[in-house]
Structure 1
């Protein structure tokens, strides 16, 4: 298939691009800069210059593709609502281009769905709907098009998609620990984070592209829930600093924007995903990556 990938040069997207190319697919990757375009071209992908605000450009690239994998998002925490509105507009424009074609549209989403008191499953719908909700309600927007002739699939990624060179959430936690001289946990650290290695996530995206029925929710989860106190302890051990408990009301002042997420229980099952795709994660665990220096600063 010729696949249009937004976020193709990002942390997850670059691994997905490699996975697709290795398995015989063609990739047209959205590139916001000359550097990103050059990196994509060097891999054998076709760069498509533009960004998420270039709605006409997104529609044109979608029209030329056999499938779309939407992984890009404006991670602007100073205007998260605005980022959500941009996401909603971009997703709707691409979906409208695909409507009635039965072509695949895979969209990156997350696992945060409130405190359920149990691991989130693929049967649990996202509570976020509408342009003013989290990420512009884009997961539900995409799945609504499953009844409009689009093979839409929600890719729910763990809060930690880890690996050597990761600059995501755990990297931020590690920097905070280094700056403060202690690795923090929120409260007693019993909150859990699902995790998946980047290589396993990329392989799952490719399997979902090839096999997922319309309306499927896919959980990129290798570890159902790593206690956040264990994450803090592993960071502390690697940096050679002690661990400390941070009161929930002080989490955002201590950790910054990530404090809210680090205090959430984001555990999730991937039992149905594994059964549907025959997917068995093989990469290192999150704690193994921390101990191996994936987040060395």
Structure 2
């Protein structure tokens, strides 16, 4: 299969690129910089110049492919609404050229299930979820299944971890290093679902190869790690104390990260495992943190 991959050089996307190539697929990666071009060439992938806002480029890339994996996202935490709008436009552009072809189109989403309970693949996107800025994209993707596209949504948890992680966990580590304390909100009994990026990459491949049209998939290794375990592991890794921060003081202590420190986001991947035979094989979040690579400094 010739697969057009957006976000092909990102933390998860680069693992997806390698996974697809290793399985014998061809990869054409979207590249918006010379650095991305070189990374794609080094991996053995073809290059398609453009970016997420260049809709004509996205259409051309999708039209020439047998399938599309959409992982690119503008992670502007100061304006996630605009990021979500750009994502929706990109999905709609790709959907236009895939309509009626039956080709697979796997779109990345966040966990959009309601906080406070174990979310499942059957749960529709919840407007109150932390990733609500991706709600319209998920709805639009699933609607493509009614228009002759083998479209599926692949939801990623708050932590996609592994060496090279640039997400929330290293942000909390840097914050603890700067503050001299590893903090949690309240007693840290809220949970984070998590998955190793190599397990997530394998699920992207399986989804492209075999996912039924119109399904939601969950890339979940840990259904829910108590945040106090994350804070305690960070404390040990940095040799700093662990402290509790009152909910009303979370923003003062963490800044914009406070809302993420307090979310309770648990999820199951039972349906995904049943559909595609996917099983996590790599380290869970806490063992990955305990391996030490998260705490290395340049």
Q: Same fold (TM over 0.5)?
A: yes
Report what 2:141 is aligned to.
142
Report what 1:275 is aligned to.
274
The unaligned stretches of length 5 or more in structure 2 are none
Kept in 2, the 8 Å contact 1:122–1:270? The answer is yes
1:106-137 Cα distance to aligned partner (Å, 9 max, x none): 0000114332x3200010011259xxx51361
Matched residues in 1 for 2:253 and 2:97: separation? 44
Structure 1 residues 235 and 121, CA gap change in structure 2 (3 angstroms) = same
Report what 1:33 is aligned to.
33
SS at match of 1:138: helix
What TM-score do you get using the length of structure 2 for normalisation? 0.95
CA drift of 1:92 comes to: 0.7
Report what 1:204 is aligned to.
203
Matched residues in 2 for 1:162 and 1:218: separation? 18
Report what 1:293 is aligned to.
292
1:170-220 Cα distance to aligned partner (Å, 9 max, x none): 000100110101111111111101111111111111111111000111110
Kept in 2, the 8 Å contact 1:128–1:140? The answer is no
What are the residue-to-residue correspondences of 1:52-131 with 2, within 5 Å?
A: 52-115=52-115, 117-128=116-127
Kept in 2, the 8 Å contact 1:128–1:137? The answer is no
The unaligned stretches of length 5 or more in structure 1 are none
**RMSD across aligned positions (CA):** 1.3
Matched residues in 1 for 2:216 and 2:81: separation? 24
What TM-score do you get using the length of structure 1 for normalisation? 0.96
Kept in 1, the 8 Å contact 2:156–2:220? The answer is yes
State which drifts further: 175-184 or 134-143. Answer: 134-143
What are the residue-to-residue correspondences of 1:181-220 with 2, within 5 Å?
A: 181-220=180-219
Q: How many residues align?
A: 293
Matched residues in 2 for 1:188 and 1:114: separation? 21
Matched residues in 2 for 1:6 and 1:122: separation? 24
CA drift of 1:293 comes to: 1.6
Kept in 2, the 8 Å contact 1:85–1:136? The answer is no
